[in-house]
Amino acid sequence: MDLKQLVANAIESSTDLDLSYDEIKDLLEVPRHEGHGDIAFPCFVLAKQLRKSPQDIAKDLAQDISGEGIAEVEAAGPYINFKLDHELVSQNILKEIYAQGKDYGTLNIGKGENVTIDMSSPNIAKPMSMGHLRSTVIGNAIANIEKKVGFNPIRINHLGDWGTQFGKLIVAYKNWGNEEDVRRDPIAELLKYYVQFHEEAEEDDSLNDQGRLWFKKLEDGDPEAVELWTWFKDESLKEFNRIYDKLGVEFDYYTGEAFYNDRLQGIVDELVDKGLLEKNQGASIVNLDEFDLNPALILKSDGASLYITRDLATAEYRKETFDFAESIYVVGNEQSYHFKQLKAVLARMGHDWQEDMHHVPFGLITAGGKKLSTRKGNVILLEDVLNDAVDLAKEQIESKNPDLANKEEVAHQVGVGAVVFHDLKNDRLNSFDFVLEEVVQFEGETGPYVQYANARANSLLRKAGFDESKVATQHEFALADEDAFAVVKELNLFPSIVEKAYYGYEPSVIAKYVIGLAQSFNRYYANTRILNDDDQLNARLSLVFAVTQVLEAGLNLLGVQAPKEM
């Protein structure tokens, strides 16, 4: 039940305003103060049309409006305030949630069409740092949301397994590497060599030339270069998969940049055939003046490919293979210009489907206000952060509930969930400073706070011996008190929240929503004797049950688990 829809219907059917139903609904507001009713209609927009003051319009219209589910209508200055029939509305909303369970909020926008989601994409031979967290968890949440609204999400880990940096790494390994050390601790050793390369290259620029040379050898299939590159890649994937397991993130495809090498010539040929490729100082470019963009560099003067060359091949492959309705790239904000160029080149190639490609940018995670950098060795390892978060969660569980049966499992769910939730509660485009001790707190606007509210609700249901299969009549859902109705109104918002998160590619909408729902439920819990054995007990338990369904559904959309005990 959409509460604004209910009020819009009443206004439309009771008045002869020169406004459509959709226009009426869009004007409706939720008052900041509960004393002003549940829904308000501002009359400012009608003043010119009716040639009266908004206050007089509100007074006149309020006398005529009535409808099912509306208990009171009154004018308050330039607003018409509507108080809803709490018992009837809560009955209908809770009945709907009870019938749908965790499917509540599911929409059919996508109609089963494919959506490719390019996410995470760490570079091989480097550890996964906190810098990789955002693309991974934002992409995973977007994939979950896409599924919730009816699409078929296809998670793709476009590994950074190609480019000049691998020539540099090969040079570093050949100069300073030790095979035994690498086999013992591959990622840490390879990172050490990579950092050393950049330190040495600041004094000796010829190292950069050597790096470019070895990457060209790799492109040309040099056996030694290919063997080292393959070894670096295999070791990296073992590390990555261990961390993805901790995060609970899975991929449908690990098709990195190297996967598209045999398609690059086809891209170049297509650009030539369409008369788009031009020579500029020995390099090959596509002019993008009509888009007010710099030329796209397709091939360097030595014939080596670039990111955009491989991304063109990637885009064509994904369209041919998956026939996507949307192709989403969850990549940092600093790559925005690259994606503008990519889409512009595809447009010049005549690929109208480039309009279905969306770059979903995000801000940075900083530590102590400083940007994390693998090159300079200023890196915080993601696995270390997750392990520390689990240890902090374990400490808090020991102090709050030392007899909890499955402490290790719950500590993992809470610790990892805290890190994921903290990332996703921030608006995607905002950067934020990460302080672990603030993240793993059971109080405040945190993941553990929401998880604990859900665990508390489940505890009430267990204590009451609540059996959802025995809630038989609509009367089990009828609640009229203000605290209960505040929770019901929050629950009612969930489908619209899912829709808003989908259209904005913005998981923070859901994270902020579940914080608000948890806060509303905790106020209800504090002010109401929920387990009091009276004729409203089953109705209160039905409300608590509805809260668990929506909190768990919301957390799961974010990729956060919802333990039933904490």
User: By three-state DSSP, how is residue 560 classified?
Assistant: coil
Read off the pTM: 0.91
pLDDT score at 129: 86
pLDDT score at 185: 87
Architecture of domain 114-260+324-371: 3-Layer(aba) Sandwich (3.40)
**DSSP letter string, 471-513:** --SGGGG---SHHHHHHHHHHHTHHHHHHHHHHHT-THHHHHH
Tokens of 171: 């040079």
From the candidate CATH numbers 3.30.1360.70, 3.30.429.10, 3.40.640.10, 3.50.50.60, the one assigned to the domain spanning 3-84: 3.30.1360.70
In angstroms, what CA-CA distances link 376 with 192, 196, 206, 336? Answer: 10, 9, 19, 24
Architecture of domain 384-557: Orthogonal Bundle (1.10)
> Which amino acid would we find at residue 24?
I
* C-beta of residue 134 within 8 angstroms of C-beta of residue 142: no
Count CB neighbours of 501 within 10 A. 26
What's 388-436 look like in SS3?
HHHHHHHHHHHHHCCCCCCHHHHHHHHHHHHHHHHHHHCCCCCCEECCH
- Nearest-5° angle of CA 126, CA 117, CA 413? 70
pLDDT score at 375: 52
pLDDT score at 474: 62
User: By three-state DSSP, how is residue 400 classified?
Assistant: helix
* C-beta of residue 270 within 8 angstroms of C-beta of residue 285: no
pLDDT score at 303: 84
What's 321-334 look like in SS3?
HHCCCEEEEECCHH
Structure confidence by residue, pLDDT tens digits, 520-553 = 999 999 999 999 999 999 999 999 999 999 999 9
pLDDT score at 184: 87
Could you tell me which of 145, 164, 141, 143 has the C-alpha nearest to residue 155? 143
pLDDT score at 377: 53
CA distance 412 to 389: 8
Count CB neighbours of 369 within 10 A. 7
> Which amino acid would we find at residue 51?
R
Cβ-Cβ contacts under 8 Å for 331 (sequence gap 6 or more): 118, 121, 135, 339, 359, 360, 361
CA distance 298 to 278: 10
> Which amino acid would we find at residue 538?
N
In angstroms, what CA-CA distances link 79 with 53, 69, 143, 457? Answer: 11, 19, 40, 37
Tokens of 75: 């004018």
pLDDT string in tens for the chain (566-residue length): 789 999 999 999 999 998 999 999 999 998 988 778 999 999 999 999 899 999 999 999 999 999 999 999 999 999 999 999 999 999 999 999 999 988 999 999 999 999 999 999 998 888 888 889 999 999 999 999 999 999 999 999 999 998 889 999 999 999 999 999 998 888 889 989 999 999 999 999 999 999 999 998 998 899 999 999 999 998 889 889 999 999 999 999 999 999 998 999 999 999 999 999 999 999 999 999 999 999 999 999 988 788 899 999 999 999 999 999 999 999 999 999 999 999 999 999 999 999 999 999 999 988 777 776 555 555 788 999 999 999 999 999 999 899 898 999 999 999 999 999 999 999 999 999 888 889 999 999 999 999 999 999 999 999 999 988 877 666 678 888 989 999 999 999 999 999 999 999 999 999 999 999 999 999 999 999 999 999 999 999 999 999 999 999 999 999 999 999 99
CA distance 464 to 467: 9
pLDDT score at 110: 98
* C-beta of residue 268 within 8 angstroms of C-beta of residue 284: yes
Cβ-Cβ contacts under 8 Å for 216 (sequence gap 6 or more): 167, 302, 304
Q: What is the DSSP letter of 294?
A: P
* C-beta of residue 118 within 8 angstroms of C-beta of residue 158: yes
**DSSP letter string, 183-233:** HHSHHHHHHHHHHHHHHHHTT-THHHHHHHHHHHHHHTT-HHHHHHHHHHH
pLDDT score at 36: 85
Question: Please, which contacts does 92-96 make with residues 24 or more away whose CB atoms are closer than 8 Å?
Answer: 92/1, 92/477, 93/1, 93/488, 93/491, 93/492, 93/546, 94/477, 94/479, 94/488, 94/491, 94/539, 94/542, 94/543, 94/546, 95/474, 95/477, 96/1
* C-beta of residue 482 within 8 angstroms of C-beta of residue 530: no
Burial of residue 269 (number of CB atoms within 10 Å: 0-12, 13-18, 19+): exposed
CA distance 39 to 28: 7
CA distance 173 to 182: 9
Could you tell me which of 112, 31, 142 has the C-alpha nearest to residue 510? 142
R_g of the chain, CA atoms, integer Å: 28
pLDDT score at 126: 84
pLDDT score at 308: 95
Pairing label, strands 296-299, 283-286: antiparallel
pLDDT score at 473: 65
Give the start-to-end residue ranges of the domains of the chain: 3-84, 114-260+324-371, 384-557
